[in-house]
Amino acid sequence: MPQATLLFWVFLLLVLYTYILYPLVIWLLAILRSSTTAADEPVDRSVSFVVAARGEGVRIGKRIEELLEQLDCAAVEGEVILVLDGPAEAESHAAQEARDSRVRVIALGEHRGKAVAISEGARLARYDILAFADVRQRWQEDALDRLLRNFQDLTVGAVSGDLFLETGNGVTAGVGLYWRYEKWLRRNEGIVDSVVGVTGAICAVRREVFHGVPEGTVLDDVYWPLRVIMQGYRVIHDSNAKAFDRLPDKACDEFRRKVRTLSGNFQLMALLPSVLLPWKNRVWWQFVSHKTMRLAVPWLLIAALVTCVLIPHGFYQFLFWIQLTGYGVLGVTMASGLAARSRAISAVASFALLNVAAWFAFWMWISGNANRSWNAIDYTSGEPSPQTE
């Protein structure tokens, strides 16, 4: 069946394009394009930190103190706006303990989700630049200063910092390797034009180009950067502005997080369909290649497996059994914990985890559960420590 043979190679080529060919093309374009680096001198800006919190307890007090130190280190006028997503007396009390006039606490009367929380905080902000931060992560001392330097370029509308992940063993170690690959890709996209999403735990945007995020939006850190790009600005990635975090210890927690995140990509295209129109979205190619194609990869892999069955040729029958055996061995390896013994195996396992999550994400979105309430993952091994990868 020549049609089935052609389809098999098309499916395989699309998978290779998504994870190998597209990144290579972006890398080559980034080399050809001269990048504008942030200036060394400080900038005259003012900053409103916006922090959304839910169920964080007394940890919020320490975090607010750290963000105030960021303002002091950058020597800028600013404030910290803490938005409590629903009733949270302990969080409010911890925030008040900061005893600093630069701290404002806004309590939403009911759980509305992170998108509403950051939108409300941004609406009430007083200063030029909005800087978004979470409670759990820690920023390097000069991170805010590094972010602000990028706004000397008037074409830059938003900046994403660089999140370093502390990983454990097993599949999560492979996720750490995948995150390095993802950051490398984002850096190159930012040099070519713009990244198609920022790291929500460390980013900043000009206040006048931030117009809020619809309630229930899962990927707020992709939605609003795309809106910034579609207003004619660039969104870039600054590797010198560093934050630190850790992955959840359990692979099941990381899987749950990825399912929700990937379902948010389906939701995003429904909320902002213009991103799929090349005459409205100048980074259309990057968005489709980086975001949309990754959602298609699990279906392409399934289609490649099924297509091999339809081709009456020994070579393709052999490929079928190779694929089936590989998936089986990988499943046993992940279930038995053998992935912890090898970085290569853990990297392959994390790729499998990502694609299984992408498959489940479609069904979560189609069932209407993509915008379920904002639920935090339990990180049981303590706070992230500042370290390099």
Domain ranges of the chain: 1-373
Q: 212 — alpha (psi -120 to 50), left (phi > 0) or beta? A: left
Query: Is 383 a residue whose pLDDT tops 60?
Result: no
172 band by pLDDT with thresholds 50, 70 and 90: low
Are the CB atoms for 58 and 108 separated by under 8 Å? no
Least confident of 61-75, 137-151, 313-327, 328-342: 328-342
Choice between 366 and 340, residue whose per-residue pLDDT is larger? 366
Rounded CA gap, 173 and 166, in Å? 9
Cβ neighbours around 346 below 10 Å, total: 27
Instruction: Report the pLDDT value the prediction gives residue 358, as an integer from 0 to 100.
Output: 87
pLDDT in tens, 320-339: 787 777 777 666 665 656 55
Query: Is 19 a residue whose pLDDT tops 90?
Result: yes
pLDDT in tens, 82-113: 999 877 655 666 666 567 889 999 988 788 88
Task: Kindly state the average pLDDT of the residues 75-82.
Answer: 94
Choice between 362 and 387, residue whose per-residue pLDDT is larger? 362
Instruction: Report the pLDDT value the prediction gives residue 22, as an integer from 0 to 100.
Output: 97
Report the CATH number of the 1-373 domain. 3.90.550.10
171 band by pLDDT with thresholds 50, 70 and 90: low
Choice between 42 and 190, residue whose per-residue pLDDT is larger? 190
Query: Is 375 a residue whose pLDDT tops 60?
Result: no
Query: Is 290 a residue whose pLDDT tops 80?
Result: yes
Instruction: Report the pLDDT value the prediction gives residue 338, as an integer from 0 to 100.
Output: 58
Question: In degrees rounded to 5, what are phi and psi of residue 265?
Answer: -65, -40
pLDDT in tens, 205-245: 999 999 999 999 999 999 999 999 999 999 999 999 999 98
Task: Kindly state the average pLDDT of the residues 166-193.
Answer: 78
Query: Is 385 a residue whose pLDDT tops 50?
Result: no
Look over the chain and give the mean of its residue pLDDT values, rounded to a whole number: 83
178 band by pLDDT with thresholds 50, 70 and 90: confident
Instruction: Report the pLDDT value the prediction gives residue 333, as an integer from 0 to 100.
Output: 64
Query: Is 71 a residue whose pLDDT tops 90?
Result: yes
Task: Kindly state the average pLDDT of the residues 138-159.
Answer: 94
Query: Is 279 a residue whose pLDDT tops 70?
Result: yes
Instruction: Report the pLDDT value the prediction gives residue 109, as an integer from 0 to 100.
Output: 79
> Which runs of consecutive H residues, i.e. helices, occur in the chain?
2-16, 22-32, 59-74, 89-96, 114-123, 143-149, 171-192, 220-229, 251-271, 284-287, 293-310, 314-336, 343-366
Query: Is 160 a residue whose pLDDT tops 60?
Result: yes
pTM of the complete model: 0.85
Instruction: Report the pLDDT value the prediction gives residue 12, as an integer from 0 to 100.
Output: 93
Query: Is 45 a residue whose pLDDT tops 70?
Result: yes
Task: Kindly state the average pLDDT of the residues 31-45.
Answer: 64
What is the maximal distance between C-alpha atoms in the chain?
75
